[in-house]
Structure 1
Amino acid sequence: MEKSTDRPDRPLKERRTYFDSENRPVPRERDRDERPAAPRGEGREGRPAGGDASAKPRYPHRPAADRSIDMLFGLRPIQEALNAARTLEKIYLLRGTKNSMTQEITDLAKAANIPVSLVPIEKLNDLTRKNHQGAVAFVSPIDYQPLDNILAGLYEEGKVPLLLLLDRVTDVRNFGAIARNAECMGVHAIVVPSRGAAQINGDALKTSAGALNIIPVCREPNLKETISFLQQSGVTVVACTEKADASLEAGTVDLTGPVAVLMGSEEDGISPEYLKLADHKLRIPMAGQIGSLNVSVASGIMLFEVLRQRLLAGA
């Protein structure tokens, strides 16, 4: 019988190396006492005291935490961007700050239908770690188009307008999917409010599969006035709501003429004040137990019915 002392020695397990938040090797507790003391002027791990930038992390390709390329910060850059007529998505200003520059930024933003929010310092610090001077703005990846010019151009070209109105759709991926539906179904423009709409950013562009680079988007300060303008211009406003009595498949509403489809928010649908203004209200028939659809799915169904009627009519 083989004695235990005659057994071959087991191979030692390879020691696991741990790394800290800056990807530097962290010694095990029992190895700390065996490490030589760092020379004077150097901190722990042999790094120069004060965190010299020459000591690079393990993964130099890792991007910085604040790497947004569509952000402006500082009062002067935002002011110059507005004077240069750059399209800004939204502006955040430090609450309680009042001077000539913030007033000019507010006035220029109002003239360009750019929403401005007065926020606490914590909100600005969450947006960027840079010296923002109490002002942060997001640059829009698209240029918004004036609705009246688009509508006039469609009539001049002999086209039958098909527009999509979005009331407080705030999810960027929903918005991107809606834009993709709209472009595929032949929508001529998407209309959104200046406030309470999804921010058009990289996620929205990606979800739209490039549709937001094709289909015009109009940003209007007041959807109530926009609905009235469309109706006075000969456009029928059709609201999609589960509260409607008329069902979409019944074909009771003629969608072959100039139409603007109105879709509501993810939370509570179309605002009552807009719902009252609609020329027609339609609900999407459903056979399942869940009583509502995602707004991007619902918009696709509504726009398909418009396209179906137009194809059958040869419009």
Structure 2
Amino acid sequence: MQETSNIFGIRAIIEAINAGQSLEKVYIQKGLSGHLFSELNTLIKQHNISTSYVPVEKLNHLSKNQNHQGVIAKISAVDFYSLEDIFTTINKDKPLFLLLDQITDVRNFGAILRTAECTGVDAIIIPNQGSAPLNADAIKTSAGAAFKIPICKVNHLLDAIYFLQAEGIQIVAITEKTEDTIYEVELNKPTALIMGSEHKGISPAILKIADAKAKLPLLGDIASLNVSVACGVALYETVRQRRS
């Protein structure tokens, strides 16, 4: 299994971005300035790379006290795709997508990737900011699925949803905020399922534009399922409908 590795130094990170290297996150020392840093900062914004401003002690720990020049980048172990790239390769009448709205637990993320690969999901779509990192723990939990299923990072899930809808993909939000169960929603057609975060669920703005909402019936006293379990239930109901 490939571990996530680091790049130290402003110039090295600039060259990595220009070479098309996928970066998971860039850690920047608080208060950093200068011409070369301005060049790097411009590239980070152009490529919508996740960033975090941290104290120098954090950088010293990540670099094991190597000369980091105030910036460290984590190289992604997996290459990410654009939505446009995905649509040039999918050749199916009924594609299936999975959108993850701020899933932050890496093991949940990895488990979802594993189930998605097993159920024939064509691509996973996640926001650039606020999602669990695709790190070694997530990759291990995915049992290798992270290398087999395309993962798209987008600036805003709302824009991705509008793009999918324009391509004829129905958007189905898996949420308890509806009276319809997953068994009453038609999934045997081009579909994108949305799963919400562990704590807040799907954001109201996304719920508002979803084409359909579906809940999982809960017959016990506990009010919700783990998100990776809920995702598995929804995906296998999709499989069931498509095999009927």
**Alignment TM-score, normalising by the size of structure 2:** 0.94
Residue 305 (str. 1) matches residue 237 (str. 2): yes
Whether the aligned pair in 2 keeps the contact of 1:90 and 1:139 (CA below 8 Å) is yes
> CA distance change for structure 1 residues 263 and 69 in 2, over 3 Å: closer, same or farther?
closer
Q: Partner residue of 2:134?
A: 200
* CA–CA separation in structure 2 for the residues paired with 1:129 and 1:69: 15
Paired letter, 1:86: Q
The Cα of 1:288 is off from its aligned counterpart by 1.1
Query: Quick check: 2:4–2:76 contact (8 Å CA) kept in 1?
Result: no
Q: Does structure 1 residue 81 correspond to structure 2 residue 13? A: no
1:206-217 equivalence runs, <5 A: 206-217=140-151
* Percent sequence identity over aligned pairs: 49
- Structure 1 residues 32-111: aligned runs within 5 Å: 70-111=5-46
Q: Distance in 1 between matches of 2:36 and 2:201?
A: 38
Q: Are 1:287 and 2:219 counterparts?
A: yes
SS in 2 for 1:169: coil
Instruction: Give the 3-state SS of the residue equivalent to 1:137 in structure 2.
Output: strand
2:59 and 2:72 in contact (8 A); partners too: yes
Deviation at 1:285, TM superposition (A): 0.5
Moved over 3 A (4+): none
- Residue 117 of structure 2 is matched in structure 1 by 183
Per the TM alignment, residue 190 of structure 1 is displaced from its structure 2 partner at its CA by 0.2
Aligned 8 A contact 2:4 2:74 in 1: no
Distance 1:227 1:69, change over 3 A: closer
Q: Superposed, which structure 2 residues align to 1:143-154 within 5 Å?
A: 143-154=79-90
Among 242, 264, 272, the alignment partner of 2:176 is 242
Does the alignment pair 1:227 with 2:148? no
Amino acid in the other structure paired with 1:194: N
Amino acid at match of 2:13: I
Deviation per residue, 1:243-299 (Å, 9 max, x gap):
2211123x2x21111100000111111111111111111110111111111111111
Distance 1:289 1:126 in 2: 45
One-letter amino acid matched to 2:85: N
Q: Secondary structure at the match of 2:177?
A: coil
Match of 1:296 in 2: 228
Q: Given that residues 106 and 116 in structure 1 are in contact (C-alpha distance below 8 angstroms), is that contact kept between their aligned partners in structure 2?
A: no
User: In the alignment, is the contact (CA less than 8 A) between 2:30 and 2:55 conserved in 1?
Assistant: yes
Q: Secondary structure at the match of 2:189?
A: coil
Higher relative contact order (CA 8 A, sep 6+): 2
RMSD over aligned CA atoms reads 1.4
> 1:245 & 1:281 partners in 2: Cα distance?
8
Specify which of 58, 62, 71 is matched with residue 123 of structure 1.
Answer: 58
The answer on 1:139 being equivalent to 2:71 is no
Residue pair 2:4, 2:136 contacting (<8 A) in 1 also = no
Q: Specify the SS of the correspondent of 2:217.
A: coil
Give the 3-state SS of the residue equivalent to 1:261 in structure 2: strand
SS at match of 1:238: strand
Give distance in 1, aligned partners of 2:120 and 2:43: 34
Q: Which amino acid aligns with 1:299?
A: C
How far apart are residue 73 of structure 1 and its match? 1.9
Greater displacement, 127-136 / 235-244: 127-136
Pairing partner for 1:266 from 190, 198, 212: 198
Q: After TM superposition, give the deviation of residue 69 of structure 1 in Å.
A: 5.8
| Deviation by residue 1:71-121 (Cα, 9 ceiling, x = unmatched) | 122212211211211110000111221222222222222222311222232
Structure 1 residue 201 displacement after superposition: 1.1
Which residues of structure 1 form unaligned runs of 5+? 1-67
Alignment-mate amino acid for residue 188 of structure 1: D
